[in-house]
Structure 1
Protein backbone atom coordinates (compact mmCIF):
# COMPACT_ATOMS: atom_id res chain seq x y z
CA UNK A 1 0.00 0.00 0.00
CA UNK A 2 1.25 3.47 -0.92
CA UNK A 3 1.38 6.25 1.60
CA UNK A 4 -0.31 9.47 0.57
CA UNK A 5 2.37 12.17 0.51
CA UNK A 6 0.46 15.03 -1.07
CA UNK A 7 1.05 17.08 2.05
CA UNK A 8 4.78 16.26 2.05
CA UNK A 9 6.92 19.33 1.49
CA UNK A 10 9.84 17.65 -0.27
CA UNK A 11 10.34 15.44 -3.31
CA UNK A 12 13.65 13.81 -4.25
CA UNK A 13 15.13 14.15 -7.73
CA UNK A 14 17.26 11.45 -9.37
CA UNK A 15 20.85 11.50 -8.04
CA UNK A 16 23.49 13.28 -10.11
CA UNK A 17 26.12 10.61 -9.49
CA UNK A 18 28.95 13.11 -8.97
CA UNK A 19 31.88 11.99 -6.81
CA UNK A 20 33.17 14.22 -4.00
CA UNK A 21 36.32 15.03 -6.01
CA UNK A 22 34.21 16.36 -8.92
CA UNK A 23 31.69 18.43 -6.98
CA UNK A 24 33.38 21.80 -7.37
CA UNK A 25 34.50 21.29 -10.99
CA UNK A 26 30.91 20.31 -11.82
CA UNK A 27 29.57 23.32 -9.92
CA UNK A 28 31.98 25.62 -11.77
CA UNK A 29 31.12 24.07 -15.14
CA UNK A 30 27.36 24.40 -14.53
CA UNK A 31 27.67 27.99 -13.31
CA UNK A 32 29.86 29.07 -16.24
CA UNK A 33 27.51 27.35 -18.73
CA UNK A 34 24.50 29.16 -17.27
CA UNK A 35 26.29 32.52 -17.27
CA UNK A 36 27.39 32.02 -20.89
CA UNK A 37 23.82 31.14 -21.90
CA UNK A 38 22.52 34.30 -20.27
CA UNK A 39 25.32 36.43 -21.77
CA UNK A 40 24.94 35.13 -25.33
CA UNK A 41 21.16 35.46 -25.32
CA UNK A 42 21.22 38.92 -23.73
CA UNK A 43 23.77 39.94 -26.37
CA UNK A 44 21.38 38.89 -29.16
CA UNK A 45 18.51 40.75 -27.48
CA UNK A 46 20.60 43.91 -27.02
CA UNK A 47 21.84 43.83 -30.62
CA UNK A 48 18.29 43.56 -31.96
CA UNK A 49 17.06 46.38 -29.72
CA UNK A 50 19.95 48.76 -30.49
CA UNK A 51 20.40 48.17 -34.24
CA UNK A 52 17.66 49.79 -36.34
CA UNK A 53 18.68 47.57 -39.27
CA UNK A 54 17.39 44.58 -37.26
CA UNK A 55 13.95 46.07 -36.66
CA UNK A 56 12.44 43.70 -39.22
CA UNK A 57 9.83 40.93 -38.82
CA UNK A 58 12.45 38.17 -39.00
CA UNK A 59 14.48 39.60 -36.11
CA UNK A 60 11.45 40.67 -34.09
CA UNK A 61 10.31 37.03 -34.19
CA UNK A 62 13.85 35.93 -33.35
CA UNK A 63 13.77 38.34 -30.37
CA UNK A 64 11.32 35.97 -28.66
CA UNK A 65 13.70 33.01 -28.87
CA UNK A 66 16.42 34.28 -26.47
CA UNK A 67 13.74 35.31 -23.96
CA UNK A 68 12.28 31.82 -24.08
CA UNK A 69 15.72 30.17 -23.94
CA UNK A 70 16.75 32.18 -20.88
CA UNK A 71 13.54 31.17 -19.12
CA UNK A 72 14.20 27.48 -19.83
CA UNK A 73 17.82 27.73 -18.67
CA UNK A 74 16.82 29.60 -15.51
CA UNK A 75 14.21 26.95 -14.69
CA UNK A 76 16.95 24.30 -14.80
CA UNK A 77 20.42 25.61 -13.93
CA UNK A 78 20.09 27.45 -10.57
CA UNK A 79 18.61 24.44 -8.79
CA UNK A 80 21.06 22.12 -10.55
CA UNK A 81 24.19 23.99 -9.46
CA UNK A 82 22.76 24.31 -5.95
CA UNK A 83 22.21 20.53 -5.90
CA UNK A 84 25.74 19.92 -7.13
CA UNK A 85 27.47 21.94 -4.43
CA UNK A 86 25.18 20.85 -1.57
CA UNK A 87 24.59 17.28 -2.80
CA UNK A 88 20.98 17.90 -1.83
CA UNK A 89 18.49 16.53 -4.37
CA UNK A 90 15.37 17.49 -2.44
CA UNK A 91 12.91 19.99 -3.89
CA UNK A 92 9.59 21.24 -2.55
CA UNK A 93 6.46 20.11 -4.35
CA UNK A 94 5.40 23.67 -5.34
CA UNK A 95 8.94 24.39 -6.63
CA UNK A 96 8.91 21.11 -8.57
CA UNK A 97 5.58 21.89 -10.22
CA UNK A 98 6.79 25.43 -11.02
CA UNK A 99 9.93 24.02 -12.63
CA UNK A 100 7.84 21.59 -14.67
CA UNK A 101 5.61 24.45 -15.82
CA UNK A 102 8.59 26.57 -16.93
CA UNK A 103 10.38 23.67 -18.65
CA UNK A 104 7.28 22.70 -20.66
CA UNK A 105 6.50 26.36 -21.39
CA UNK A 106 10.04 26.74 -22.75
CA UNK A 107 9.79 23.63 -24.95
CA UNK A 108 6.39 24.48 -26.39
CA UNK A 109 7.33 28.12 -26.88
CA UNK A 110 10.46 27.16 -28.79
CA UNK A 111 8.50 24.99 -31.23
CA UNK A 112 5.98 27.74 -31.94
CA UNK A 113 8.61 30.48 -32.25
CA UNK A 114 10.71 28.41 -34.66
CA UNK A 115 7.58 27.58 -36.68
CA UNK A 116 6.67 31.27 -36.98
CA UNK A 117 10.24 32.05 -38.08
CA UNK A 118 10.00 29.33 -40.73
CA UNK A 119 6.77 30.89 -42.02
CA UNK A 120 8.47 34.31 -42.15
CA UNK A 121 11.34 32.88 -44.23
CA UNK A 122 8.85 31.10 -46.49
CA UNK A 123 7.01 34.35 -47.26
CA UNK A 124 10.26 36.30 -47.70
CA UNK A 125 11.84 33.79 -50.10
CA UNK A 126 8.84 32.30 -51.92
CA UNK A 127 6.56 35.35 -52.03
CA UNK A 128 8.93 38.34 -51.81
CA UNK A 129 6.54 40.76 -53.52
CA UNK A 130 3.84 40.02 -50.93
CA UNK A 131 6.18 40.04 -47.90
CA UNK A 132 5.45 43.60 -46.74
CA UNK A 133 1.72 43.05 -47.19
CA UNK A 134 1.73 39.78 -45.23
CA UNK A 135 4.23 40.56 -42.46
CA UNK A 136 2.70 43.87 -41.41
CA UNK A 137 3.26 45.18 -37.86
CA UNK A 138 -0.34 44.24 -37.01
CA UNK A 139 0.07 40.67 -38.26
CA UNK A 140 3.42 40.41 -36.53
CA UNK A 141 1.84 41.39 -33.21
CA UNK A 142 -0.91 38.82 -33.79
CA UNK A 143 1.66 36.07 -34.50
CA UNK A 144 3.73 36.86 -31.39
CA UNK A 145 0.65 37.18 -29.16
CA UNK A 146 -0.67 33.87 -30.50
CA UNK A 147 2.64 32.13 -29.70
CA UNK A 148 2.57 33.15 -26.03
CA UNK A 149 -1.20 32.75 -25.52
CA UNK A 150 -1.28 29.27 -27.08
CA UNK A 151 1.81 28.20 -25.13
CA UNK A 152 0.43 29.51 -21.85
CA UNK A 153 -2.99 27.91 -22.41
CA UNK A 154 -1.57 24.49 -23.29
CA UNK A 155 0.89 24.35 -20.38
CA UNK A 156 -1.47 25.78 -17.75
CA UNK A 157 -4.01 23.10 -18.69
CA UNK A 158 -1.28 20.45 -18.52
CA UNK A 159 -0.22 21.53 -15.02
CA UNK A 160 -3.80 21.93 -13.76
CA UNK A 161 -4.57 18.37 -14.85
CA UNK A 162 -1.51 17.26 -12.88
CA UNK A 163 -2.20 19.41 -9.80
CA UNK A 164 -5.65 17.87 -9.23
CA UNK A 165 -4.02 14.62 -8.05
CA UNK A 166 -2.67 13.72 -4.62
CA UNK A 167 0.83 12.26 -4.97
CA UNK A 168 1.63 9.01 -3.22
CA UNK A 169 5.34 8.77 -4.04
CA UNK A 170 8.26 11.13 -3.55
CA UNK A 171 11.02 9.94 -5.92
CA UNK A 172 11.18 11.89 -9.20
CA UNK A 173 12.82 9.65 -11.82
CA UNK A 174 14.45 12.50 -13.77
CA UNK A 175 17.16 15.07 -13.04
CA UNK A 176 14.57 17.86 -13.14
CA UNK A 177 10.81 18.08 -12.70
CA UNK A 178 8.57 17.55 -15.70
CA UNK A 179 5.03 16.38 -16.33
CA UNK A 180 5.78 12.70 -17.20
CA UNK A 181 8.02 12.20 -14.17
CA UNK A 182 5.52 13.85 -11.82
CA UNK A 183 2.68 11.71 -13.17
CA UNK A 184 4.69 8.67 -12.05
CA UNK A 185 4.27 9.89 -8.46
CA UNK A 186 0.48 9.60 -8.78
CA UNK A 187 -1.41 6.43 -7.88
CA UNK A 188 -4.78 7.48 -9.37
CA UNK A 189 -6.08 7.03 -12.90
CA UNK A 190 -4.07 9.34 -15.18
CA UNK A 191 -5.73 8.30 -18.45
CA UNK A 192 -7.01 11.81 -19.18
CA UNK A 193 -3.52 13.24 -18.56
CA UNK A 194 -1.98 10.71 -20.94
CA UNK A 195 -4.52 11.51 -23.66
CA UNK A 196 -3.99 15.24 -23.23
CA UNK A 197 -0.21 14.81 -23.25
CA UNK A 198 -0.33 12.77 -26.47
CA UNK A 199 -2.74 15.23 -28.09
CA UNK A 200 -0.58 18.26 -27.26
CA UNK A 201 2.59 16.44 -28.37
CA UNK A 202 0.98 15.62 -31.74
CA UNK A 203 -0.43 19.14 -32.05
CA UNK A 204 2.72 21.04 -31.10
CA UNK A 205 5.50 18.74 -32.31
CA UNK A 206 3.56 17.38 -35.28
CA UNK A 207 2.19 20.78 -36.28
CA UNK A 208 5.61 22.41 -36.04
CA UNK A 209 7.17 19.59 -38.06
CA UNK A 210 4.48 19.88 -40.75
CA UNK A 211 5.05 23.64 -41.04
CA UNK A 212 8.82 23.19 -41.23
CA UNK A 213 8.60 20.43 -43.87
CA UNK A 214 6.16 22.38 -46.06
CA UNK A 215 7.95 25.73 -45.83
CA UNK A 216 11.41 24.25 -46.37
CA UNK A 217 10.32 22.21 -49.37
CA UNK A 218 8.89 25.37 -50.89
CA UNK A 219 12.03 27.34 -49.99
CA UNK A 220 14.26 24.62 -51.48
CA UNK A 221 12.22 24.58 -54.69
CA UNK A 222 12.43 28.37 -54.98
CA UNK A 223 16.18 28.38 -54.28
CA UNK A 224 16.82 25.73 -56.94
CA UNK A 225 14.80 27.69 -59.50
CA UNK A 226 16.36 31.10 -58.79
CA UNK A 227 19.02 32.45 -61.14
CA UNK A 228 20.74 34.55 -58.48
CA UNK A 229 23.51 32.53 -56.74
CA UNK A 230 24.01 35.14 -54.00
CA UNK A 231 20.33 35.19 -53.10
CA UNK A 232 20.25 31.39 -53.14
CA UNK A 233 23.32 31.15 -50.90
CA UNK A 234 21.97 33.69 -48.42
CA UNK A 235 18.57 31.96 -48.25
CA UNK A 236 20.05 28.50 -47.72
CA UNK A 237 22.49 29.83 -45.12
CA UNK A 238 19.74 31.48 -43.08
CA UNK A 239 17.36 28.54 -43.37
CA UNK A 240 20.11 25.99 -42.72
CA UNK A 241 20.88 27.46 -39.30
CA UNK A 242 17.16 27.55 -38.51
CA UNK A 243 16.77 23.90 -39.50
CA UNK A 244 19.69 22.79 -37.29
CA UNK A 245 18.18 24.53 -34.25
CA UNK A 246 14.72 23.09 -34.92
CA UNK A 247 15.84 19.49 -35.51
CA UNK A 248 18.04 19.55 -32.39
CA UNK A 249 15.07 20.53 -30.24
CA UNK A 250 12.54 18.28 -31.97
CA UNK A 251 14.59 15.09 -31.94
CA UNK A 252 15.59 15.29 -28.29
CA UNK A 253 12.13 16.34 -27.09
CA UNK A 254 10.22 13.65 -28.97
CA UNK A 255 12.60 10.84 -27.99
CA UNK A 256 12.51 11.94 -24.34
CA UNK A 257 8.69 12.03 -24.23
CA UNK A 258 8.41 8.66 -25.96
CA UNK A 259 11.01 7.11 -23.62
CA UNK A 260 8.80 8.01 -20.65
CA UNK A 261 6.06 5.83 -22.12
CA UNK A 262 8.29 2.80 -22.77
CA UNK A 263 9.09 0.84 -19.62
CA UNK A 264 12.15 -0.84 -21.16
CA UNK A 265 13.75 2.46 -22.22
CA UNK A 266 17.06 3.25 -20.56
CA UNK A 267 16.57 5.83 -17.78
CA UNK A 268 20.10 7.12 -18.41
CA UNK A 269 19.38 7.75 -22.09
CA UNK A 270 16.11 9.48 -21.15
CA UNK A 271 17.86 11.69 -18.59
CA UNK A 272 20.70 12.64 -20.95
CA UNK A 273 18.31 13.54 -23.77
CA UNK A 274 15.99 15.37 -21.37
CA UNK A 275 18.83 17.47 -19.98
CA UNK A 276 20.13 18.19 -23.48
CA UNK A 277 16.78 19.82 -24.34
CA UNK A 278 17.31 22.51 -21.69
CA UNK A 279 21.08 22.92 -22.22
CA UNK A 280 21.93 22.76 -25.93
CA UNK A 281 19.25 24.96 -27.57
CA UNK A 282 19.68 27.88 -25.12
CA UNK A 283 23.47 27.61 -25.48
CA UNK A 284 23.73 27.12 -29.24
CA UNK A 285 20.75 29.16 -30.52
CA UNK A 286 22.43 32.57 -30.11
CA UNK A 287 25.75 31.22 -31.39
CA UNK A 288 24.24 29.62 -34.50
CA UNK A 289 22.06 32.61 -35.38
CA UNK A 290 24.76 35.11 -34.44
CA UNK A 291 27.35 33.46 -36.68
CA UNK A 292 25.19 32.40 -39.61
CA UNK A 293 22.92 35.42 -40.10
CA UNK A 294 25.12 38.19 -41.47
CA UNK A 295 22.87 41.08 -40.42
CA UNK A 296 22.66 39.81 -36.84
CA UNK A 297 26.42 39.22 -36.72
CA UNK A 298 27.02 42.80 -37.84
CA UNK A 299 24.49 44.05 -35.30
CA UNK A 300 26.26 42.18 -32.48
CA UNK A 301 29.66 43.53 -33.59
CA UNK A 302 28.25 47.04 -33.72
CA UNK A 303 26.76 46.71 -30.25
CA UNK A 304 30.04 45.39 -28.81
CA UNK A 305 32.08 48.15 -30.48
CA UNK A 306 29.66 50.74 -29.15
CA UNK A 307 30.07 49.29 -25.66
CA UNK A 308 33.87 49.37 -25.91
CA UNK A 309 33.86 52.97 -27.12
CA UNK A 310 31.51 54.08 -24.33
CA UNK A 311 33.73 52.36 -21.73
CA UNK A 312 36.83 54.16 -23.08
CA UNK A 313 34.97 57.45 -23.13
Structure 2
Protein backbone atom coordinates (compact mmCIF):
# COMPACT_ATOMS: atom_id res chain seq x y z
CA UNK A 1 0.00 0.00 0.00
CA UNK A 2 1.36 3.43 -0.97
CA UNK A 3 2.39 5.83 1.80
CA UNK A 4 1.02 9.34 1.54
CA UNK A 5 2.67 12.52 2.82
CA UNK A 6 0.44 15.52 2.38
CA UNK A 7 1.90 18.83 1.13
CA UNK A 8 5.48 17.96 2.03
CA UNK A 9 7.96 20.72 1.18
CA UNK A 10 10.80 18.22 0.68
CA UNK A 11 10.68 16.13 -2.49
CA UNK A 12 12.91 13.33 -3.70
CA UNK A 13 14.21 13.10 -7.25
CA UNK A 14 14.27 9.66 -8.82
CA UNK A 15 17.45 10.67 -10.62
CA UNK A 16 19.28 9.16 -13.56
CA UNK A 17 19.87 5.43 -13.34
CA UNK A 18 23.38 4.86 -14.66
CA UNK A 19 25.39 1.66 -14.30
CA UNK A 20 28.83 1.74 -12.69
CA UNK A 21 30.51 1.04 -16.02
CA UNK A 22 28.83 3.96 -17.78
CA UNK A 23 28.82 6.43 -14.87
CA UNK A 24 32.10 8.20 -15.71
CA UNK A 25 31.49 8.46 -19.48
CA UNK A 26 27.99 9.88 -18.92
CA UNK A 27 29.14 12.26 -16.17
CA UNK A 28 32.10 13.57 -18.20
CA UNK A 29 29.97 13.90 -21.34
CA UNK A 30 27.35 16.01 -19.53
CA UNK A 31 30.01 18.02 -17.67
CA UNK A 32 32.06 19.00 -20.73
CA UNK A 33 28.94 19.52 -22.83
CA UNK A 34 27.64 21.99 -20.24
CA UNK A 35 30.97 23.82 -20.14
CA UNK A 36 30.95 24.11 -23.93
CA UNK A 37 27.33 25.36 -23.99
CA UNK A 38 28.11 28.09 -21.46
CA UNK A 39 31.40 29.08 -23.13
CA UNK A 40 29.98 29.16 -26.67
CA UNK A 41 26.70 30.93 -25.89
CA UNK A 42 28.20 33.45 -23.48
CA UNK A 43 30.81 34.12 -26.17
CA UNK A 44 28.07 34.83 -28.72
CA UNK A 45 26.24 37.16 -26.31
CA UNK A 46 29.45 39.06 -25.50
CA UNK A 47 30.49 39.32 -29.16
CA UNK A 48 27.11 40.69 -30.22
CA UNK A 49 27.11 43.14 -27.32
CA UNK A 50 30.68 44.39 -27.79
CA UNK A 51 31.09 44.53 -31.58
CA UNK A 52 29.13 47.23 -33.39
CA UNK A 53 29.33 45.31 -36.67
CA UNK A 54 27.01 42.72 -35.10
CA UNK A 55 24.43 45.28 -33.99
CA UNK A 56 22.13 44.02 -36.72
CA UNK A 57 18.59 42.67 -36.22
CA UNK A 58 19.59 39.11 -37.13
CA UNK A 59 22.33 38.93 -34.48
CA UNK A 60 20.37 40.86 -31.86
CA UNK A 61 17.51 38.39 -32.24
CA UNK A 62 19.92 35.45 -32.23
CA UNK A 63 21.28 36.74 -28.92
CA UNK A 64 17.88 35.88 -27.42
CA UNK A 65 18.38 32.27 -28.47
CA UNK A 66 21.84 32.17 -26.88
CA UNK A 67 20.53 33.61 -23.60
CA UNK A 68 17.68 31.09 -23.64
CA UNK A 69 20.11 28.20 -24.25
CA UNK A 70 22.16 29.29 -21.23
CA UNK A 71 18.97 29.42 -19.12
CA UNK A 72 17.75 25.99 -20.20
CA UNK A 73 21.07 24.22 -19.67
CA UNK A 74 21.87 25.93 -16.35
CA UNK A 75 18.45 25.07 -14.93
CA UNK A 76 18.94 21.32 -15.22
CA UNK A 77 22.48 20.15 -16.00
CA UNK A 78 24.40 21.43 -12.90
CA UNK A 79 21.78 19.89 -10.61
CA UNK A 80 21.95 16.63 -12.59
CA UNK A 81 25.74 16.46 -12.20
CA UNK A 82 25.51 17.03 -8.45
CA UNK A 83 22.78 14.42 -8.02
CA UNK A 84 24.78 11.86 -9.98
CA UNK A 85 27.44 12.09 -7.25
CA UNK A 86 24.87 11.54 -4.51
CA UNK A 87 23.24 8.30 -3.38
CA UNK A 88 19.53 8.05 -4.38
CA UNK A 89 18.31 8.73 -0.81
CA UNK A 90 20.07 12.13 -0.79
CA UNK A 91 18.67 13.44 -4.06
CA UNK A 92 16.32 15.87 -2.32
CA UNK A 93 14.86 19.13 -3.57
CA UNK A 94 12.55 21.64 -1.91
CA UNK A 95 9.08 22.13 -3.35
CA UNK A 96 9.74 25.80 -4.17
CA UNK A 97 13.01 24.99 -5.92
CA UNK A 98 11.18 22.29 -7.85
CA UNK A 99 8.52 24.76 -9.00
CA UNK A 100 11.18 27.27 -10.10
CA UNK A 101 13.03 24.55 -12.02
CA UNK A 102 9.82 23.38 -13.70
CA UNK A 103 8.93 26.96 -14.67
CA UNK A 104 12.43 27.57 -16.07
CA UNK A 105 12.53 24.37 -18.13
CA UNK A 106 9.12 25.02 -19.69
CA UNK A 107 10.03 28.67 -20.28
CA UNK A 108 13.21 27.53 -22.07
CA UNK A 109 11.33 25.09 -24.30
CA UNK A 110 8.57 27.57 -25.15
CA UNK A 111 10.88 30.52 -25.73
CA UNK A 112 12.98 28.43 -28.13
CA UNK A 113 9.91 28.18 -30.37
CA UNK A 114 8.88 31.84 -30.08
CA UNK A 115 12.41 33.18 -30.65
CA UNK A 116 12.85 31.03 -33.76
CA UNK A 117 9.48 32.34 -34.99
CA UNK A 118 10.54 36.00 -34.72
CA UNK A 119 13.87 35.14 -36.34
CA UNK A 120 11.90 33.64 -39.25
CA UNK A 121 9.97 36.93 -39.55
CA UNK A 122 13.29 38.79 -39.73
CA UNK A 123 14.49 36.54 -42.56
CA UNK A 124 11.17 36.99 -44.38
CA UNK A 125 11.45 40.79 -44.29
CA UNK A 126 15.13 40.73 -45.30
CA UNK A 127 14.48 38.61 -48.41
CA UNK A 128 10.96 39.57 -49.47
CA UNK A 129 11.16 43.29 -48.62
CA UNK A 130 14.88 44.15 -48.75
CA UNK A 131 14.30 47.83 -49.62
CA UNK A 132 12.01 48.31 -46.62
CA UNK A 133 14.07 46.17 -44.23
CA UNK A 134 15.70 49.11 -42.43
CA UNK A 135 12.38 50.89 -41.95
CA UNK A 136 10.56 47.76 -40.72
CA UNK A 137 13.24 46.20 -38.50
CA UNK A 138 13.86 49.28 -36.37
CA UNK A 139 15.06 49.24 -32.76
CA UNK A 140 11.46 49.69 -31.67
CA UNK A 141 10.39 46.65 -33.70
CA UNK A 142 13.27 44.58 -32.29
CA UNK A 143 12.16 45.44 -28.75
CA UNK A 144 8.55 44.52 -29.59
CA UNK A 145 9.59 41.18 -31.09
CA UNK A 146 11.86 40.35 -28.16
CA UNK A 147 9.25 41.29 -25.54
CA UNK A 148 6.56 39.33 -27.38
CA UNK A 149 8.75 36.21 -27.64
CA UNK A 150 9.58 36.18 -23.93
CA UNK A 151 6.25 37.65 -22.77
CA UNK A 152 4.04 35.10 -24.54
CA UNK A 153 6.19 32.27 -23.18
CA UNK A 154 6.11 33.71 -19.66
CA UNK A 155 2.30 34.00 -19.66
CA UNK A 156 1.65 30.55 -21.16
CA UNK A 157 4.07 28.81 -18.79
CA UNK A 158 2.81 30.90 -15.85
CA UNK A 159 -0.74 29.64 -16.40
CA UNK A 160 0.58 26.08 -16.81
CA UNK A 161 2.37 26.12 -13.45
CA UNK A 162 -0.36 28.08 -11.61
CA UNK A 163 -2.83 25.30 -12.42
CA UNK A 164 -0.41 22.83 -10.84
CA UNK A 165 0.61 24.64 -7.66
CA UNK A 166 -3.08 25.00 -6.68
CA UNK A 167 -3.22 21.22 -6.16
CA UNK A 168 -2.63 19.52 -2.82
CA UNK A 169 0.22 17.02 -2.84
CA UNK A 170 0.11 13.52 -1.39
CA UNK A 171 3.34 12.11 -2.82
CA UNK A 172 6.98 13.18 -2.63
CA UNK A 173 8.77 11.26 -5.41
CA UNK A 174 9.56 13.12 -8.62
CA UNK A 175 9.63 10.62 -11.48
CA UNK A 176 12.72 11.80 -13.34
CA UNK A 177 15.96 13.63 -12.73
CA UNK A 178 14.49 17.14 -12.82
CA UNK A 179 11.18 18.87 -12.12
CA UNK A 180 8.63 19.64 -14.79
CA UNK A 181 4.92 20.34 -14.81
CA UNK A 182 3.81 16.74 -15.34
CA UNK A 183 6.07 15.47 -12.55
CA UNK A 184 4.62 18.10 -10.19
CA UNK A 185 0.92 17.52 -10.84
CA UNK A 186 1.47 13.75 -10.63
CA UNK A 187 2.33 14.33 -6.96
CA UNK A 188 -1.33 15.16 -6.36
CA UNK A 189 -4.14 12.75 -5.53
CA UNK A 190 -6.74 15.24 -6.82
CA UNK A 191 -8.18 15.38 -10.32
CA UNK A 192 -5.67 16.71 -12.83
CA UNK A 193 -8.11 16.79 -15.75
CA UNK A 194 -7.79 20.57 -16.19
CA UNK A 195 -4.00 20.30 -16.09
CA UNK A 196 -3.99 17.64 -18.80
CA UNK A 197 -6.41 19.59 -21.00
CA UNK A 198 -4.45 22.84 -20.71
CA UNK A 199 -1.11 21.03 -21.13
CA UNK A 200 -2.34 19.32 -24.30
CA UNK A 201 -3.85 22.57 -25.64
CA UNK A 202 -0.65 24.44 -24.76
CA UNK A 203 1.49 21.91 -26.66
CA UNK A 204 -0.81 21.80 -29.71
CA UNK A 205 -1.01 25.60 -30.00
CA UNK A 206 2.74 26.02 -29.52
CA UNK A 207 3.80 23.43 -32.07
CA UNK A 208 1.01 24.22 -34.55
CA UNK A 209 1.79 27.93 -34.38
CA UNK A 210 5.52 27.29 -34.65
CA UNK A 211 5.34 24.85 -37.55
CA UNK A 212 2.63 26.88 -39.29
CA UNK A 213 4.63 30.11 -39.13
CA UNK A 214 7.72 28.35 -40.49
CA UNK A 215 5.81 26.76 -43.37
CA UNK A 216 4.12 30.07 -44.25
CA UNK A 217 7.34 32.09 -43.98
CA UNK A 218 9.49 29.72 -46.04
CA UNK A 219 6.75 29.20 -48.62
CA UNK A 220 6.63 32.96 -49.22
CA UNK A 221 10.42 33.15 -49.37
CA UNK A 222 10.51 30.28 -51.88
CA UNK A 223 7.86 31.91 -54.07
CA UNK A 224 9.77 35.20 -54.08
CA UNK A 225 13.03 33.46 -54.99
CA UNK A 226 11.39 31.49 -57.82
CA UNK A 227 9.47 34.43 -59.31
CA UNK A 228 12.27 37.01 -59.21
CA UNK A 229 14.97 34.62 -60.48
CA UNK A 230 17.67 36.76 -58.94
CA UNK A 231 20.89 34.80 -58.35
CA UNK A 232 22.11 37.23 -55.70
CA UNK A 233 18.77 37.04 -53.86
CA UNK A 234 18.66 33.25 -54.08
CA UNK A 235 22.21 32.99 -52.74
CA UNK A 236 21.36 35.30 -49.83
CA UNK A 237 18.18 33.33 -49.08
CA UNK A 238 20.01 30.00 -49.16
CA UNK A 239 22.77 31.29 -46.90
CA UNK A 240 20.62 32.90 -44.22
CA UNK A 241 17.55 30.65 -44.29
CA UNK A 242 19.37 27.32 -44.35
CA UNK A 243 21.08 28.15 -41.06
CA UNK A 244 17.84 29.15 -39.38
CA UNK A 245 15.98 26.14 -40.79
CA UNK A 246 18.63 23.66 -39.60
CA UNK A 247 18.53 25.14 -36.08
CA UNK A 248 14.72 24.98 -36.08
CA UNK A 249 14.54 21.38 -37.31
CA UNK A 250 17.09 20.19 -34.73
CA UNK A 251 15.08 21.82 -31.95
CA UNK A 252 11.76 20.57 -33.36
CA UNK A 253 12.76 16.91 -33.69
CA UNK A 254 14.51 16.93 -30.32
CA UNK A 255 11.39 18.30 -28.61
CA UNK A 256 8.96 16.02 -30.44
CA UNK A 257 10.98 12.90 -29.58
CA UNK A 258 10.42 13.65 -25.87
CA UNK A 259 6.68 14.24 -26.41
CA UNK A 260 6.39 10.92 -28.25
CA UNK A 261 8.32 9.04 -25.55
CA UNK A 262 5.99 10.50 -22.89
CA UNK A 263 3.22 8.35 -24.40
CA UNK A 264 5.23 5.17 -23.69
CA UNK A 265 5.87 4.70 -19.93
CA UNK A 266 7.97 1.60 -20.64
CA UNK A 267 10.62 3.87 -22.18
CA UNK A 268 11.01 6.10 -19.11
CA UNK A 269 14.80 5.71 -19.01
CA UNK A 270 15.09 6.38 -22.74
CA UNK A 271 13.06 9.55 -22.22
CA UNK A 272 15.51 10.71 -19.55
CA UNK A 273 18.45 10.40 -21.93
CA UNK A 274 16.43 11.98 -24.75
CA UNK A 275 15.79 14.96 -22.47
CA UNK A 276 19.51 15.28 -21.75
CA UNK A 277 20.23 15.29 -25.47
CA UNK A 278 17.46 17.87 -25.97
CA UNK A 279 19.26 20.15 -23.52
CA UNK A 280 22.71 19.48 -24.97
CA UNK A 281 22.54 18.99 -28.74
CA UNK A 282 20.55 22.09 -29.86
CA UNK A 283 22.20 24.32 -27.24
CA UNK A 284 25.65 23.19 -28.40
CA UNK A 285 24.95 23.31 -32.13
CA UNK A 286 23.18 26.70 -32.25
CA UNK A 287 26.31 28.84 -31.66
CA UNK A 288 28.39 26.55 -33.93
CA UNK A 289 25.92 26.71 -36.82
CA UNK A 290 25.42 30.47 -36.62
CA UNK A 291 29.10 31.08 -35.96
CA UNK A 292 30.20 29.05 -38.99
CA UNK A 293 27.56 30.62 -41.24
CA UNK A 294 28.13 34.22 -40.20
CA UNK A 295 30.94 35.93 -42.10
CA UNK A 296 30.99 38.72 -39.50
CA UNK A 297 31.44 36.35 -36.55
CA UNK A 298 34.09 34.32 -38.39
CA UNK A 299 35.97 37.53 -39.19
CA UNK A 300 35.89 38.69 -35.55
CA UNK A 301 37.11 35.30 -34.30
CA UNK A 302 39.84 35.26 -36.95
CA UNK A 303 41.02 38.74 -35.93
CA UNK A 304 41.05 37.69 -32.27
CA UNK A 305 43.16 34.60 -33.02
CA UNK A 306 45.60 36.66 -35.11
CA UNK A 307 45.93 39.19 -32.28
CA UNK A 308 46.74 36.39 -29.83
CA UNK A 309 49.38 35.02 -32.20
CA UNK A 310 50.99 38.42 -32.51
CA UNK A 311 51.04 38.87 -28.73
CA UNK A 312 52.50 35.41 -28.16
CA UNK A 313 55.20 35.93 -30.80
TM-score of the two chains, using structure 1 as the length reference = 0.90
Question: What is the CA distance between 1:230 and its match in structure 2?
Answer: 4.0
Query: SS of the counterpart of 2:198?
Result: helix
Question: What is the CA distance between 1:153 and its match in structure 2?
Answer: 1.3
The yes-or-no answer on 1:161 pairing with 2:163 is yes
Moved more, 125-134 or 71-80: 125-134
* Matched pairs, number: 310
Cα 1:22–1:140 shift into 2, 3 Å: same
Q: Deviation per CA, 1:35-81: give whole Å up to 9, x if none.
A: 11001001111221222121111111111111010000000111111
Q: What 5-or-longer segments of structure 1 have no aligned partner? A: none
Cα 1:31–1:311 shift into 2, 3 Å: farther
Moved more, 117-126 or 143-152: 143-152
1:275 matched residue in structure 2: 276
Q: What 5-or-longer segments of structure 2 have no aligned partner? A: none
Query: SS of the counterpart of 2:125?
Result: helix
The yes-or-no answer on 1:241 pairing with 2:257 is no
Cα 1:189–1:305 shift into 2, 3 Å: farther
1:145 matched residue in structure 2: 147
Distance in 1 (CA, whole Å) between partners of 2:66 and 2:259 is 24
CA RMSD of aligned residues (A): 2.3
Question: What is the CA distance between 1:91 and its match in structure 2?
Answer: 2.5
Kept after mapping to 2: 8 A contact 1:44/1:300: no
The yes-or-no answer on 1:57 pairing with 2:60 is no
Which of 249, 252, 270 pairs up with 1:250?
Answer: 252
Question: What is the CA distance between 1:265 and its match in structure 2?
Answer: 5.7
Query: SS of the counterpart of 2:178?
Result: coil
Kept after mapping to 2: 8 A contact 1:34/1:77: yes
Moved more, 129-138 or 292-301: 292-301
Cα 1:310–1:74 shift into 2, 3 Å: farther
Moved more, 23-32 or 66-75: 23-32
Query: SS of the counterpart of 1:175?
Result: coil
